[in-house]
Amino acid sequence: MKIVILNGSPRPRGSSSRLLAAFTEGAQAAGHGLTRFDLDRMNIHPCRACYYCEDHDGVCIRRDDMAKVLKSILDAELLVFATPMYYFGMSAQLKTAIDRFFAADGKLRAKRMKSVLIAPAADTDPAVSRGLLAHYEQICQYLRLQDQGRLLALGINEPEDLDGTEFLEAARALGAGLI
Ligand SMILES: Cc1cc2nc3c(=O)[nH]c(=O)nc-3n(C[C@H](O)[C@H](O)[C@H](O)COP(=O)(O)O)c2cc1C
């Protein structure tokens, strides 16, 4: 299966990256192919709501890196949303990319892709993840994504906090168990 990872963390060696490395190891061992986009390092601008894409066959007026991200997503079967929890939601990097799905909404919905959420957060109270989870679920429903798992790594402020937790193995198992 072709998997596209959208990494919304700005930290190259952060918690999301460590979780994604474990997830990738599991997924590769199971024979899946992965393409990862580290959104913070890319040139991706917010949607301008100009509706140019509606009259131009899904081509966005913004000529930036989002075109190659969307091309890759439309060629894949599973989408991984990875984000540190920021103010009870996803990072701006990930949200900016998701808003740009608008140009390919119809094609994305028709594909009925699978999806996964991977999200570290410093807080230990599961209640803080309600907003992020509700948002993810709503996006899945709208884009007709079939959720294959959510890994909320609570109590993780720094990547080292993952040491000795079950989260790295859970990420690896999530990748390895994809079918
Ligand atoms: C701007 C900002 C906002 C944050 N907001 C939250 C939050 O609302 N809840 C929480 O539990 N942690 C919050 N955190 C902590 C991060 O989610 C946590 O450090 C995470 O492990 C970072 O992941 P990364 O290393 O992949 O970027 C915030 C961190 C930053 C920098």
Tens of pLDDT along 12-63? 999 999 999 999 999 999 999 999 999 999 999 999 999 999 999 999 999 9
- pLDDT-based confidence at 175, cuts 50/70/90? very high
Give the E-state strand segments of the chain in sequence order.
Answer: 2-7, 33-38, 78-82, 114-121, 146-154
Residues 6+ apart with CB under 8 A from 168: 18, 19, 22, 162
Residue nearest to atom 6 of ligand 1 (CA): 86
Q: What 8-state DSSP symbol labels residue 47?
A: P
Q: What is the pLDDT of residue 157?
A: 98
Q: Containing H/E element for 135?
A: helix 130-143
Domain count across the chain: 1
Residue nearest to atom 1 of ligand 1 (CA): 86
Residue nearest to atom 4 of ligand 1 (CA): 86
Domain housing 45:
2-176
Residue 90 to residue 9: CA distance in whole angstroms? 9
Q: What is the pLDDT of residue 43?
A: 98
CA–CA distances in Å: residue 165 to residues 14, 129, 132, 156, 171: 15, 18, 22, 10, 11
Ligand 1 midpoint to CA 106 (Å): 32
- CATH (domain of 135): 3.40.50.360
Q: What is the pLDDT of residue 46?
A: 98
Ligand 1 midpoint to CA 84 (Å): 5
pTM above 0.95, yes or no: yes
Average pLDDT, the chain: 98
Pocket of ligand 1 (CB under 6 A): 9, 11, 14-16, 84-88, 120-123, 128, 156-157, 159
> Tokens 């963390």 correspond to what residue?
9
Residue 132 to residue 115: CA distance in whole angstroms? 15
Ligand 1 midpoint to CA 123 (Å): 8
Ligand 1 midpoint to CA 155 (Å): 10
